[in-house]
Amino acid sequence: MAKTAIVTGASAGIGEATCLALVEKGFTVYAVARRADRMAHLADKGIVPISADVTDDASMVALVDRVVAETGRIDVLVNNAGYGSYGALEEVPMAEARRQVEVNVFGLARLTQLVLPHMRQQRSGRIINVSSVGGQIWEPLGAWYHATKFAVEGLSDSLRAELRPHGVDVVVIQPGAIRTEWAGISADNLIAASSIPAYQEQVRIGAAVLKRADEIKAASPPSTVARTIAKAATARRPRTRYATGGGARSVLFFNKVLTDRGWDRMVALAYRSQARG
């Protein structure tokens, strides 16, 4: 019997590439995103596209009910849906802050809640949470985004411990710089949402840094992360964390060996370099 996987945020980038990587591994794959029309091409590969929103509880319940009704099981959940909301904390509206947390944390947690009864009954399953190097590092203007990714890391660690007796693994994926539309959209939204003059120079540089993440030589295609996720999904004993693509391992190494003040200085130097460039 083929194993079943659900992948959120599947309409582009890492999510789309992950669906393709998992179907190649023999999984029955359900691709989930708000816009089903952007996933129509995946059906040609044998992937099942489903329109659903991780912030809409009814659509999440319907998704899980459908997968179980059609396949009888859920073996892998890839929580990939998310976005980056940047801006000075002083001027980010609390409504936007709540939406960032709702999508990146609560949506992930709620879908996990819904699949866990089935995984516990099977006494097997794998929850794969796509975090970021941003779950362990920080940068100016990214307070809410980094807060959500730090939360995903802590949530995943606690979840891993509580699910171990039930045969369910929890894995964190930490992508670095990946060539997707994510960084460009985040940069454009940062500029559009910023109006306080005191932050304008930081905003200009921050937007340039975000856009450059897609262009640097070290940036990786989404397929790099997708291969890592497929490895985590099929490994007999997966690692708890996989840093992958776009200089992720180097970034996390420097963050580990530097003090907090040392990291602050390194980020400040990178911003000054971008300002001169």
User: Looking at residue 276, what is its pLDDT?
Assistant: 63
Per-residue model confidence as pLDDT tens digits over 50-65: 999 999 999 999 999 9
| DSSP helix/strand/coil, 217 | coil
pLDDT at 216 over 80: no
| DSSP helix/strand/coil, 84 | coil
Per-residue model confidence as pLDDT tens digits over 62-88: 999 999 999 999 999 999 999 999 999
pLDDT classification of 30: cutoffs 50, 70, 90: very high
- If one counts every other C-beta atom within 10 angstroms of the C-beta of residue 21, the result is 23
| DSSP helix/strand/coil, 125 | strand
- Mean pLDDT of the 133-162 span: 96
pLDDT classification of 275: cutoffs 50, 70, 90: low
Domain ranges of the chain: 4-276
Q: Which two tokens stand for residue 119?
A: 């995984």
pLDDT averaged over the chain?
A: 93
Answer for the pair 173, 232: CB distance below 8 angstroms, yes or no: yes
The rounded distance, in Å, linking the Cα atoms of 136 and 198 is 27
Domain 4-276 has CATH 3.40.50.720: yes
The rounded distance, in Å, linking the Cα atoms of 24 and 18 is 10
User: Looking at residue 217, what is its pLDDT?
Assistant: 64
| Cα end-to-end distance, the chain, whole Å | 55
User: Looking at residue 140, what is its pLDDT?
Assistant: 93
Active-site annotation, residues = 131, 145, 149
